[in-house]
């Protein structure tokens, strides 16, 4: 078997992915755009500085402590945020977007801002569907 030299470092497209890689890409996007993740990331993005757990918990209204913990852990595992523990009393934990996380948010926020402008349309579509 002969190894063929790659002429240029090809840009990855959808079809270049293995099934595992494809699944990872889809799941990271799915998690990022999940209601709690999106909200938490948005908070971190607009603050643009390290945030304590309790600050995030305050701003992401309606999320429970348990679910926020899980959400942030997953975002950390996906490489979108960092989690820094300070050995103090009382303990302090700070979260911040990584470069990758900021890059993703930069691309996701236009979609968010656009969907916000479409809310009236979404409401009308929902009503029309439910009326049948």
Partner DNA sequence: CCGTATCCAAGCCGATACTG
Partner DNA sequence: CAGTATCGGCTTGGATACGG
Q: Which does 8 bind (CB under 5 to 8 A by kind): a copy of itself, DNA, none?
A: none
* Separation of alpha carbons 131 and 123, rounded Å: 12
Tell me if residue 77 falls in helix, strand or coil: helix
* Separation of alpha carbons 12 and 75, rounded Å: 23
Residue 21 CB, nearest distance to a copy of itself (Å)? 5
Instruction: Give residues 32-61 in contact with DNA (rule: CB under 7 A).
Output: 52-54, 57
User: Is position 72 an interface residue for DNA (rule: CB under 7 A)?
Assistant: yes
Candidates 43, 28, 47, 44; CA nearest to 81 is: 44
Instruction: Give residues 11-40 in contact with a copy of itself (rule: CB under 8 A).
Output: 11-14, 16-17, 21, 23-30, 32-35, 38-39
Residue 31 CB, nearest distance to DNA (Å)? 11
């Amino acid at each position: 078997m002969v190894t063929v030299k790659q002429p240029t470092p090809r840009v990855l497209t959808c079809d270049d992915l293995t099934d595992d890689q494809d699944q990872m890409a889809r799941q990271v996007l799915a998690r990022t755009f999940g209601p709690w993740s999106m909200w938490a990331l948005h908070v971190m993005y607009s603050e643009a500085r390290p945030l304590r757990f309790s600050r995030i918990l305050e701003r992401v209204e309606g999320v429970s402590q348990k679910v926020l913990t899980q959400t942030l852990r997953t975002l950390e595992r996906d490489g979108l945020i960092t989690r820094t523990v300070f050995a103090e009393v009382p303990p302090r934990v700070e979260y911040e977007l990584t470069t990758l996380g900021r890059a993703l948010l930069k691309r996701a926020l236009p979609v968010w801002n656009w969907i916000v402008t479409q809310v009236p349309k979404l409401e009308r579509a929902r009503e029309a569907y439910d009326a049948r």
